[in-house]
Structure 1
């Protein structure tokens, strides 16, 4: 299912508005922020725990919304300089119809 543009924009706004809050991401782990049809995920690809303010993700989130979500596509962003990755995506699509499925 494609992410709703308004839901993803609201996540971006939340990251900016609550920028002083801290995301604590353990080594090689991920965190998620979800709002209805949209999810922002951040992955720590380093062997050390990362502590980053929410506002760190806001520009990446806004960029992903305008570059991909706007066009109905999910997006992945490699934040190589910080050893992290971020993704903005919708929910999984429903399975293919089968008359035998219950």
Structure 2
């Protein structure tokens, strides 16, 4: 498995993420609110909160220590997830499931 820097995703992952976002009824944009991420990933708000609260960057790779977490940032008190983080999350979890399931 090749390591990728945090926030980076390959072309295929980016296209699949765009399709997933559009299938959920949202436009492709720079970042997404919690409710949007929940609908895109098919998760609950509680799961979203756990995924973002438990995010910890790996100092060596820059990616997450746990592939099942999401990096987020706050704007006006609300968490948001960048498009590239969604693409990276989908790519690393597809890879993770393929390798470890």
TM-score by length of 1: 0.34
TM-score by length of 2: 0.34
Query: Whose strand fraction is larger, Structure 1's or Structure 2's?
Result: 1
Query: Whose helix fraction is larger, Structure 1's or Structure 2's?
Result: 2
